[in-house]
Amino acid sequence: MASCSKKVLEDLERKASQCDYIRFTVADMNGIARGKVVPRRNLLSMAKQGVGIYGGILGIGPNGEITFFQEVKDTNHGNVQLIPEPNTFHLVPFDNSEVITGEVICEPHWYEDGTYQSASPRYVARQQLQRLDDMGLSVKSSCELEFLMFEKDRTTPVFSGRDICVHSVFASSQRLIYDIEQRLYKAGVDLETLQTEYTGGQFELVMKPMLGIQGADNVFNAKAGIKEICQTNDHFATFITKAGPEVGNGLHFNYSLYNKDDRNILYDPTQKYNLSEFAQQWIGGIIHHARAITVLHASTVNCFRRVGTPWAATKADWGIQNRMNTLRVKNKDENGTYFENRMSGGLGNPYLIMAANIAAGLDGVKNKMSLPQENNEDAVLLPKTLKEGIKALEDDEVICDALGNQFVRWFKEVKEIGEMNFVDVDIPDTEEALLKEKELYMHLM
């Protein structure tokens, strides 16, 4: 059996001293927060031994569908242990209750030998971060959170019209948006900007970049928090990627890379485009593996309805400041040089997005790939369906090896055995198709 270290236990006991209850939370394959709640009086014993939970928890889908992984069947469908990860405790101030709730992010460990479930999305992301750390590097990242907000009936948007960045429209919902910002900040999530977006009821909240796994943790926490805060205020929020013919939520992933001296290694004013040789090779890796990593950004049937639409990723291309490219590169100065990967739909799992970018970028650096042509009109098209995306991932040996066999196999099974049994992946982008997908995804995502 695995167990929590003494140092983590002491830190957790100190930070959670004011709480009445603590959530033990794990991110499943879809990035949905699952877990159990522990009364404060039982915190240390539960943290030390781990909270038992069904071994296939990573494979439960948004409609309750269960994927039966072979490794879990081999344990007679036994439990795994949820062990708190270091430095993940935060408050959950998402309602007006006098009861104080905290949360720790966990990763599942096999009960028999205490090892990590290597298919866990957060574990997969940490392994890629470790590869960077072995090179003396770290990633600083954030996301642009786009979501739709409805009245309690789940059908009436809080505002109508195409009112992007209009203050008077924002003001009509600012009480709740400000409440979201303030509560997320108390939970450790810092937002830099807030705005209305293109379609009715749509908002975009841009997050402050954070180092390492905290960048992905914050996205995970923010998405869950926004839904909860809206719920407790008699509203409904969803990150569904495609909710209508002209309605799309993205989850753009912005990041840069730093060395131990806290220097942005992507910037070099002596090189073409102000991009270092490392940055150019990294771009080469992203473009080379773009088809394989699309499904790790657009990881649902619904997400692929956004691929190839206006303002969304279409081809394996890149460009300076170009919003029409899959990889938008900013290169103003050392502080303003970073990558914006625009592949992901709103339903994307932040841990898989982070892992995919690092795995692809590092292969470009390892093999000294050349900088591809900028704004290449003849660039290869990205996959257009979940089936095609999974096939592209499986065909890329480098990305599969980097992320791990168990992860790739489990991810495929969750999508093919679970999700594809509930959604017809081959029907066109029709009102009927979108209605069915709303019923599947909007409840939990």
pLDDT of the residue at 103: 97
The pLDDT score that the predictor gives to residue 32 is: 96
The confidence score (pLDDT) of residue 422 equals 57
pLDDT at 426: 55
pLDDT for the residue numbered 420: 63
Q: What is the pLDDT at residue 437? A: 77
Closest by alpha carbon to 353, among 397, 308, 303, 318?
303
**Which residues of the chain are under the pLDDT cut of 70?**
1, 418-432, 445
Beta pairing class for 101-110 and 21-27: parallel
pLDDT at res. 149 = 97
* pLDDT score recorded for residue 423: 58
By C-alpha distance, which of 377, 253, 393, 359 is closest to 314?
377
Residues 34/26, Cβ–Cβ less than 8 Å: yes
Q: Judge whether 280 and 265 are in contact, CB under 8 Å.
A: no
Buried b (16+ CB within 10 A) or exposed e, 91-123: bbbbeeeeeebbbbbbbbbbbeeeebbbbbbbb
| Predicted pLDDT at 357 | 98
CA 388 to chain centre: 21
* Dihedrals phi, psi of 428, to nearest 5 degrees: -65, 175
Tokens at 62, concatenated: 């948004």
